[in-house]
Amino acid sequence: MPTATETIISLIMQERDRLNAALIALGVPGERKRGRPPKNAAKPETPAPAPQAPPPPPQPVAPVGRNWKPASRKRQAAAMRARWEQARAAGRNTLVAKAKPGRKPKTMTAGGAG
């Protein structure tokens, strides 16, 4: 046998359902659902477009590089040759970059960057 509280709750829920049905019949929007709306609710019904030929493949784009002027390249090459000569004269097989305060120094070996 249901208790008095359960009976009252069921009557209130029935009344709520009747009021919601009346509001919907009048065209008043009901409770708004929280969260993200369904994917298809926002899209209007549109017919599928006619099939078209696929677009041509995109043209390859040349990579953007660092372009050195010939004089700059020559100056840099001379400076690197001088650095390596100094390192070899000092008996080292690596170049030690000038360290900035608080940073680990970078080293370069004869075989490439390291």
pLDDT at position 46 is 67
Q: What are phi and psi of 10, to 5 degrees?
A: -65, -40
pTM for the complete prediction?
0.30
Q: What are phi and psi of 107, to 5 degrees?
A: -120, 145
Q: What is the mean pLDDT of residues 69-94?
A: 90
Asked if pLDDT for residue 94 goes beyond 90, the answer is no
CA distances to 53, 60, 63 from 57, rounded to whole Å, are 12, 9, 18
pLDDT tens digits, residue range 29-71? Answer: 666 667 887 777 556 666 677 778 888 888 888 777 778 899 9
Contact 109/94 with Cβ under 8 angstroms? Answer: yes
pLDDT at position 108 is 64
